[in-house]
Structure 1
Amino acid sequence: MQTPSPNVVVIYDSLIARDGAAAALAGYFTVNQVPLEKFITEGSFDAPVNVFCVNAGELETTKQVKKVLQTCQNEALFVLPTHNSDGITRLRGITDAEFLVLPFNGNELRSLIKKALNRSVERSWDTLHPQKRKALKEAVVCFENCFDLVQHGEPVPIEAIQDCCHHIRDAAELGDLNNWIDALDNHHDYSFRHSMFVCGTLSYFAHAIGIGGADLDQLTVGGLLHDIGKAKIPLEILDKPGKLNAHEWSIMKLHPVYSNDILADENGLDADLVAMAVSHHERIDGAGYPSALSGAQINDQVRLTAIADVYSALIDKRAYKGSMTCEAALDMMSSFEGHLDMDLLRSFRGFVLDQVHTLP
Structure 2
Amino acid sequence: MQVNTVDVPDPGRGKPYIAIVAGNARQRSILARCLTSFYQFAEYPDVAQAVAGCRTHVPLLALVSEQLPPGGGFDLVRRFRLDPGLASIPIVVLAGKDDKVTRDGALQCGADSLLVEPFSRSALVTAVSGLLNRGVERKWKTLRPLQRQALSDTLLLFNGISNVISEGKPIPYQGVSDACQPLVEAVANDDFKEMLDGVKDHDNYSFAHSMRVATYLSLFGCNLRLPKEEQILLASGGLLHDIGKMSIPHQVLNKPGRLNEAERAVMEGHVTASVAYLEHCQDLPKGIITIAAQHHEKVDGTGYPRGLAGSKLNRLARIACIVDVFTALTDRRVYKPPIEAEAALKFMVDEMDSQLDAKLLGLFRQMLLDASGDIHRQMERSA
Q: TM-score normalized by structure 1?
A: 0.88
Structure 1's 270 and 17: CA in aligned 2 closer, same or farther, altered over 3 A? same
Please tell me whether residue 49 in structure 1 is matched to residue 61 in structure 2. Answer: yes
SS at match of 1:9: strand
Q: Distance in 1 between matches of 2:199 and 2:221?
A: 20
Shift of 1:134: 1.3
Runs of 4+ residues deviating >6 angstroms: none
Could you tell me which residue of structure 2 aligns to residue 100 of structure 1? 115
Q: Distance in 2 between matches of 1:93 and 1:322?
A: 36
Structure 1's 86 and 352: CA in aligned 2 closer, same or farther, altered over 3 A? same
Shift of 1:155: 3.1
Please tell me whether residue 349 in structure 1 is matched to residue 365 in structure 2. Answer: yes
Please tell me whether residue 245 in structure 1 is matched to residue 260 in structure 2. Answer: yes
Q: Distance in 2 between matches of 1:62 and 1:353?
A: 51
Could you tell me which residue of structure 2 aligns to residue 64 of structure 1? 75
Q: Distance in 2 between matches of 1:342 and 1:41?
A: 54
Deviation track 1:245-298 (CA, whole Å, cap 9, x = no partner) reads 221111000011001111001121122221111111112222221122222222
**1:117-136 equivalences in 2 (<5 Å):** 117-136=132-151
Shift of 1:233: 0.9
Please tell me whether residue 109 in structure 1 is matched to residue 124 in structure 2. Answer: yes
Q: CA RMSD in A?
A: 2.7
Q: Is the 8 A contact 2:158 2:207 kept in 1?
A: yes
Q: Is the 8 A contact 1:151 1:231 kept in 2?
A: no
Could you tell me which residue of structure 2 aligns to residue 146 of structure 1? 161
More divergent stretch after superposition (327-336 vs 211-220): 327-336
Structure 1's 240 and 156: CA in aligned 2 closer, same or farther, altered over 3 A? farther
Could you tell me which residue of structure 1 aligns to residue 296 of structure 2? 281
Shift of 1:159: 3.2
Shift of 1:311: 0.9
Q: Is the 8 A contact 1:107 1:235 kept in 2?
A: no
Which residue of the other structure, out of 21, 36, 40, is the alignment partner of 1:30?
A: 40
Could you tell me which residue of structure 1 aligns to residue 355 of structure 2? 339
SS at match of 1:320: coil
More divergent stretch after superposition (308-317 vs 206-215): 206-215
Please tell me whether residue 85 in structure 1 is matched to residue 99 in structure 2. Answer: yes
Which residue of the other structure, out of 185, 190, 197, is the alignment partner of 1:175?
A: 190
Q: Distance in 2 between matches of 1:44 and 1:102?
A: 25
More divergent stretch after superposition (24-33 vs 182-191): 24-33
Kindly tell me the number of residue pairs found equivalent between the two proteins: 355
- Supply the AA of the counterpart residue of 1:301: L
Which residue of the other structure, out of 317, 331, 355, is the alignment partner of 2:332?
A: 317
Q: Distance in 1 between matches of 2:51 and 2:308?
A: 64
- Supply the AA of the counterpart residue of 1:51: L
SS at match of 1:99: strand
Q: Distance in 1 between matches of 2:203 and 2:264?
A: 21
Could you tell me which residue of structure 2 aligns to residue 260 of structure 1? 275
Structure 1's 270 and 321: CA in aligned 2 closer, same or farther, altered over 3 A? same
Structure 1's 93 and 115: CA in aligned 2 closer, same or farther, altered over 3 A? closer
Deviation track 1:128-147 (CA, whole Å, cap 9, x = no partner) reads 22211111122222212213
SS at match of 1:47: coil
Q: Distance in 2 between matches of 1:238 and 1:261?
A: 19
Q: Is the 8 A contact 1:78 1:99 kept in 2?
A: yes
Q: Distance in 1 between matches of 2:42 and 2:190?
A: 41
Structure 1's 41 and 27: CA in aligned 2 closer, same or farther, altered over 3 A? closer
Structure 1's 347 and 41: CA in aligned 2 closer, same or farther, altered over 3 A? closer
Q: Is the 8 A contact 2:65 2:73 kept in 1?
A: no
Shift of 1:86: 4.2
Shift of 1:351: 0.7
Q: Is the 8 A contact 2:39 2:334 kept in 1?
A: no
Q: Is the 8 A contact 2:37 2:251 kept in 1?
A: no
Q: Distance in 1 between matches of 2:174 and 2:249?
A: 27
Q: TM-score normalized by structure 2?
A: 0.83
More divergent stretch after superposition (62-71 vs 299-308): 62-71
Deviation track 1:145-174 (CA, whole Å, cap 9, x = no partner) reads 213433554433533322110111121122
- Supply the AA of the counterpart residue of 2:66: V
Gaps of 5+ in 1: none
- Supply the AA of the counterpart residue of 1:344: L
SS at match of 2:122: helix
Shift of 1:310: 0.7
- Supply the AA of the counterpart residue of 1:48: L
Shift of 1:13: 4.3
SS at match of 1:323: coil
Q: Is the 8 A contact 2:94 2:115 kept in 1?
A: yes
- Supply the AA of the counterpart residue of 1:292: G
Structure 1's 229 and 69: CA in aligned 2 closer, same or farther, altered over 3 A? same
Structure 1's 165 and 19: CA in aligned 2 closer, same or farther, altered over 3 A? same
